[in-house]
Amino acid sequence: MIPEHISIWGELSHLDHTVRHVDVPVRGHTVRTRVLQAGSGPELVLLHGTGGHLEAYSRDIAGLAEDFHVTAYDMIGHGWSDLPDLPYTTDVLSEHLVGLLDALGVERAHLSGESLGGWVAAWVAAHFPERVDRLVLNTPGNIANKPEVMQRMRDSTMAAVLDPSEETVRRRVEFLFHHKEMVTDELVDLRRQVYSRPGFVQAITNTLVLQDPVVRKDFAWDPAWVGKVAAPTLLLWTSHDPTGGLDEADLLLGWLPDARLHVIDDAGHWPQWEKVSEFLDTHRTWLLHGKDPS
Is 239 in contact with 140 (CB distance < 8 Å)?
no
Write out pLDDT tens, residues 54-68: 999 999 999 999 999
pLDDT exceeds cutoff 90 at 43: yes
pLDDT digits (tens, 9 = 90+) for 171-199: 999 999 999 999 999 999 999 999 999 99
Please state, as a whole number, how many other Cβ atoms lie within 10 Å of the Cβ of residue 211. 21
CATH, range 8-144+222-289: 3.40.50.1820
What is the CA 92 to chain-centroid distance, rounded?
15
For the chain, domain boundaries:
8-144+222-289
pLDDT on residue 141: 84
Cα distance between residue 115 and residue 270, in whole Å: 9
Q: What is the mean pLDDT of residues 27-34?
A: 98
pLDDT of residue 144: 87
Give the pLDDT band (50/70/90) at residue 290.
very high
pLDDT of residue 142: 86
pLDDT of residue 108: 98
| pLDDT per residue as tens digits for the range 220-257 | 999 999 999 999 999 999 999 999 899 999 999 999 99
pLDDT above 70 coverage of the chain, percent:
100
- Say which DSSP state 27 is in: T
pTM score of the predicted model: 0.98
Percent of the chain at pLDDT > 90 equals: 95
Name the phi and psi angles at 163, rounded to 5: -130, 80
Compute the average pLDDT of residues 23-45.
Answer: 98
User: Which residues lie closer than 8 Å to 281 by C-beta, 6 or more apart?
Assistant: 293
Instruction: Give the pLDDT band of residue 35 (cuts 50, 70, 90).
Output: very high
Q: Which run of H or of E encompasses 100?
A: helix 90-104
In degrees rounded to 5, what are phi and psi of residue 137?
-105, 105
Backbone angles phi, psi at 267, to 5 degrees: -145, 160
- pLDDT, one tens digit per residue, over 77-108 is 999 999 999 999 999 999 999 999 999 999 99
